[in-house]
Amino acid sequence: MATTDTCSSAMSLIPCVRLVSVTGAKHREMGILRSSFVFFALGLLLTLSSASESEVDDETPFTYIEGTGKGPKEWGQIDPRWQACGMGKLQSPIDLLNERVQVFPNLGKLKRDYKPAPAIVRNRGHDITVMWKGDAGKININGTYYKLLQCHWHSPSEHTFNGSRYDLELHMVHLSSHGEIAVIGIVYKYGRPDPFLTKLLEHITVVGKEDTDLGVINPGIIKFGSRKYFRYIGSLTVPPCTEGVVWTIVRKVRTVSRKQVEALREAVHDGYEANARPTQQLDGRAVWLYTPGDNGGAA
């Protein structure tokens, strides 16, 4: 079994380890997982039709505070439709541990084709969301096209890298024509302001219960910073915690200012200091890493 040396990557923000390359058996596992999406789509289509614009009904009775009866551990008991939150085996977010990761170069480069489109910003009670009302483009994952619907933020980050939780996480939510969900996650630490949030900040600070028109917003402003990414099969991180979601987590940790994170938190009027779900058990799932080469490249 071969190993891959990731230690020479100047862009890697994860402590260097020697990672095991994927064998033929793992290639077959990927094929089985990919084909299983069709079955996920058949079972989840009705649920996902309502999730196409928001992950959960606005102002739903859940919180991120344990001990209230409505915290993350109780989500699965609040509503029968949310049972996956408590009983699911493919839940998100997860801790991305080096020792669990399998290098899989055949995943291929993320193919993004985003374009400017009209958008609004909405306070959903548990997060701030930008929703595109026109065609904002798509991504191509293993030959399947996923249309970009919306993006939103969690603070602190939901996914962790080797147990380390960062200051913010952006989720870009996409939907295929078959009802499959794909989410791209980008993690941030405090530092220089994020260009995308800089463009939106004045609108975020005044958003109330009514949607705010943003005009035309180009999702191409959102920078990944690296071609390297993690891939695994998980779920939505808020109720109904729908499973079968194709997760792509960009490996590069980008930067965001404290002012920008504070603006996002203050705009959510339910008093949440945080809106991040705790990490969930991996339950034997594979986590793959795509790395195109030693330099990683800029995206």
Q: Is residue 126 annotated as part of the catalytic site, yes or no?
A: yes
| pLDDT value, residue 24 | 45
For helices 258-267 and 195-204, give the axis angle rounded to 10 degrees: 40
Domains, in order of start, for the chain:
3-290 (3.10.200.10)
| pLDDT value, residue 198 | 97
pLDDT in tens, 90-147: 999 999 999 999 999 889 899 999 999 999 999 998 999 999 999 999 999 999 999 9
Q: Both tokens of residue 87?
A: 């009983």
Q: CA angle, corner 31, sides to 9 and 26, nearest 5? A: 50
Of 144, 171, 140, residue with least CA distance to 155: 171
Task: Read off the amino acid at residue 5.
Answer: D
Residue 187, helix vs strand vs coil: strand
Residues 6+ apart with CB under 8 A from 271: none
Residue ranges, the chain, pLDDT below 70: 1-60, 269-272, 293-299
| pLDDT value, residue 235 | 99
Residue 239, helix vs strand vs coil: coil
Residues 6+ apart with CB under 8 A from 74: 86
Residues 6+ apart with CB under 8 A from 134: 117, 118, 119
Q: What does residue 192 show for φ and ψ, rounded to 5 degrees?
A: -65, 150
Residue identified by tokens 């005009």 is 215
| pLDDT value, residue 100 | 92
Task: Read off the amino acid at residue 287.
Answer: V
Helix residue spans in the chain (DSSP H) = 24-51, 75-78, 84-87, 195-204, 258-267
pLDDT in tens, 38-67: 333 434 443 444 444 444 444 558 999 999
| pLDDT value, residue 270 | 59
List the catalytic residue out of 126, 159, 171, 203: 126
| pLDDT value, residue 271 | 60
Residues 6+ apart with CB under 8 A from 174: 138, 139, 146, 147, 148, 149, 181, 182, 183, 184
